[in-house]
């Protein structure tokens, strides 16, 4: 088992402190969900862990060994699926796969469920769900022990939500996965633990009722 530990996470934009000594832990074999309102710092935190946004403070460790954030990408410890599409729109899916994988490793993507329907399509012509699913296959099948997903379920067709959930369920046997998304029912369906980012700190939450109690979801009227 591998463990990821990020403590003392601090990040401010001017006078607004979006992360205030936040603590995040994840182990291989589990999926951790992170909720939070727009602008609260969820995406910023993932980018900090990936090393593309500089924190004011962070102590990051893998298996108890300190890991400088500028070594995350070179050492291939954490994979990251950003919110925004990143694939070349003019290339067909079958031509993108060899850019990431060689030899028999490509079979994991070419023979994944649903891939036969999109392999000959250009990335720019895919639906939101098709594109998101393929991006997840690309990043998720890499060798990183940890994977961070920023809004994998947002605006996705039901068919591809189910394909994504099935893929993540199988993937967590060998990876630790962190998900941020507003589609809380979809997140709850695949996670083992859940957190709410509020006032710069991560709070453990167990269900919708607790999300409502902390003001993330509207409270039910009597």
CATH of residue 199: 3.40.50.300
pLDDT tens digits for 85-126?
999 999 999 999 999 999 999 999 999 999 999 999 999 999
Intra-chain end-to-end CA distance of the chain, in Å: 46
CA dist., res. 29 & res. 161, Å (int): 21
Quick check: is 104 in a domain? yes
Residue 33 falls inside a structural domain: yes
Selection from 54, 11, 2 nearest residue 175 by Cα? 2
Looking at the domain assignment, is residue 165 inside a domain? yes
Tell me the residue length of the chain. 222
Domain count, the chain: 1
H-helix or E-strand spanning residue 129:
helix 128-140
**For residue 78, what are the domain limits?**
3-213
Give a yes or no: residue 220 inside a domain. no
In a domain, 21, yes or no: yes
What pLDDT was estimated at residue 219? 77
With CA atoms as reference, report the closest residue to 168 among 113, 128, 94, 121. Answer: 113
Q: How many CA atoms lie within 13 A of 33 on its CB side?
A: 25
**Within-domain flag for 35:** yes
Residue 222: per-residue pLDDT: 47
221 in a structural domain: no
Query: Is residue 182 in some structural domain?
Result: yes
Residues in the chain with pLDDT values less than 50: 222
Q: What is d(CA 138, CA 140) in angstroms, rounded to the nearest whole number?
A: 6
């Amino acid at each position: 088992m591998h463990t990821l530990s990020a403590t003392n996470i601090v990040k401010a934009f001017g006078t607004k402190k979006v992360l205030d000594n936040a603590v995040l832990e994840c182990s291989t074999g589990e999926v951790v969900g992170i909720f939070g309102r727009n602008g609260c710092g969820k995406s910023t935190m993932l980018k900090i862990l990936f090393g593309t946004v500089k924190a004011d403070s962070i102590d990051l460790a893998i298996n108890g060994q300190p890991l400088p954030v500028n070594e995350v990408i070179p050492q291939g410890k954490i994979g990251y699926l950003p919110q925004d599409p990143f694939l070349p729109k003019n290339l067909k899916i079958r031509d993108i796969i060899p850019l990431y994988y060689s030899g028999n490793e490509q079979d994991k993507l070419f023979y994944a469920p649903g891939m036969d329907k999109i392999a000959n399509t250009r990335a720019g012509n895919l639906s939101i769900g098709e594109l998101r699913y393929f991006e997840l296959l690309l990043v998720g099948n890499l060798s990183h022990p940890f994977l961070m997903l920023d809004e994998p379920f947002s605006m996705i067709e039901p068919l591809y939500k189910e394909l994504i959930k099935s893929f993540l369920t199988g993937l967590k046997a060998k990876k630790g996965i962190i998900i941020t998304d507003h589609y809380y029912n979809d997140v709850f369906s695949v996670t083992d633990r859940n957190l709410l980012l509020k006032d710069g700190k991560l709070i453990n939450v167990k269900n919708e009722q607790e999300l409502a109690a902390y003001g993330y979801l509207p409270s039910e009227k009597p």
